[in-house]
């Protein structure tokens, strides 16, 4: 095996931040009812939404610059996560309070899944902040170590200063490479965990299968209201623009109603079963 092949093999053993985010934010409890038809239809709707977004961006110029567009999308992602967190906490609280006593204990026992999905982006964001602080020298800088003779005077003042500077440079160069690698992986993990968690309502379905269908319309209509106040991303005609903006909330609402109908007719999951009544 050549050195290049060995390097590729070692790189292949590195943990994938996307796979880690999918495991943490996208997994579900083992006994959760998974309807493949619902999953397939949701995938089709997501693909159509992404295709429509790409078509809109390619067909019409951006209202602002690229940086403003990217920052706006990140803001929408953060707002969407906040909406899901608030509505999810309220929804789970209502389920626990209104459910019959045996189900209350069951729902409380299922909370680690959503809590893990909620904590994953926060943990990733914390690591990103820590790596940025380390790379910018806010934690420790070369001058902090370079001011001291780390050779303990064994080589004299001049030579000790030179060796100290060289060792500090090599140390910080190696640390910068490690921090940069961790920063990239943490940023990918955080973004993936937020997107996967947002699409899956941060595993609220682990508490009960109906919760994602109940929470999704609240999310998309809240984001629709935010987009109305924030202004359009592209300079498109009003008919095209508002048709596109309404397409997401309407399709998600229709899909949620169909999902609840299918869960009721195919799997016997109703609002009564949600509260054990």
Last residue of a domain, one of 161, 182, 201: 201
Residue 135 sits in the same domain as residue 192: yes
Task: List the pLDDT tens digit at each of the 277 positions of the chain.
Answer: 454 444 344 444 456 888 888 888 877 778 888 888 988 988 888 888 888 888 888 887 877 777 777 777 788 878 888 888 888 888 888 888 888 888 888 888 888 888 888 888 889 889 999 888 888 877 766 555 545 555 555 554 555 555 656 676 777 778 888 889 999 999 999 988 888 888 888 888 888 889 888 888 888 888 888 877 777 777 878 888 888 888 888 999 999 999 999 999 998 888 888 887 6
Q: State which residues form the domain around 106.
A: 66-111+207-277
Nearest to 69 by CA among 59, 58, 57: 57
Last residue of a domain, one of 174, 201, 228: 201
Note the pLDDT of residue 69: 73
Residue 229 sits in the same domain as residue 276: yes
Asked whether residue 77 is assigned to any structural domain, the reply reads yes
Q: How many domains are there within the chain? A: 2
Asked whether residue 195 is assigned to any structural domain, the reply reads yes
Asked whether residue 50 is assigned to any structural domain, the reply reads no
Note the pLDDT of residue 5: 47
How many CB atoms lie under 10 A from the CB of residue 131? 21
Residue 211 sits in the same domain as residue 273: yes
Buried b or exposed e, range 53-89, using 16+ CB within 10 angstroms? eeebeeebeeeeeeeeeeebeeebbeebbebbeebbe
Last residue of a domain, one of 201, 232, 260: 201
- Phi/psi for 234 (5° steps) reads -125, 155
Who contacts 97 (Cβ-Cβ below 8 Å, separation ≥6)? none
Cβ 193 vs Cβ 24: under 8 Å: yes
The pTM (predicted TM-score) of the whole model is 0.76
Alpha helices in the chain (DSSP H): 3-12, 17-26, 36-59, 66-98, 101-109, 112-135, 142-146, 157-199, 211-230, 238-267, 271-275
- Bridge partners of 62, per DSSP, are 234
Residue 219 sits in the same domain as residue 259: yes
Q: Which long-range contacts (CB under 8 A, 24 or more apart) does 265-273 make?
A: 266/35, 267/33, 267/35, 267/209, 269/33, 269/208, 269/209, 269/210, 271/210
């Amino acid at each position: 095996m050549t050195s290049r092949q060995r390097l590729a093999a070692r790189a292949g053993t590195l943990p994938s931040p996307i796979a880690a985010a999918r495991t943490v934010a996208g997994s579900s409890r083992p006994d959760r009812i998974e309807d493949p038809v619902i999953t397939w239809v949701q995938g089709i709707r997501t693909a159509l939404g992404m295709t429509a977004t790409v078509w809109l961006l390619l067909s019409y110029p951006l209202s602002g610059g690229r940086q403003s567009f990217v920052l706006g999308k990140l803001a929408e992602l953060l707002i969407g996560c906040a909406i899901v967190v608030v509505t999810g906490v309220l929804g789970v609280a209502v389920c626990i309070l209104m459910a019959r006593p045996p189900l209350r204990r069951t729902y409380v026992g299922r909370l680690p899944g959503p809590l893990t999905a909620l904590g994953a982006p926060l943990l990733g964001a914390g690591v990103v902040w820590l790596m940025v602080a380390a790379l910018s020298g806010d934690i420790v800088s070369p001058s902090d170590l370079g001011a001291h003779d780390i050779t303990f005077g064994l080589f004299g003042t001049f030579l000790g200063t030179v060796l100290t500077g060289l060792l500090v440079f090599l140390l910080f160069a190696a640390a910068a490479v490690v921090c940069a690698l961790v920063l990239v992986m943490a940023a990918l993990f955080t973004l993936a965990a937020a997107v996967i968690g947002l699409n899956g309502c941060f595993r609220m379905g682990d508490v009960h299968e109906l919760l994602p269908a109940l929470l999704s319309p609240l999310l998309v209509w809240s984001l629709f209201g935010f987009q109305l106040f924030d202004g359009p991303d592209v300079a498109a005609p009003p008919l095209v623009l508002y048709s596109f903006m309404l397409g997401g909330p309407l399709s998600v609402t229709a899909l949620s109603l169909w999902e609840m109908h299918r869960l009721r007719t195919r799997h016997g999951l109703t609002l009564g079963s949600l509260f054990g009544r």
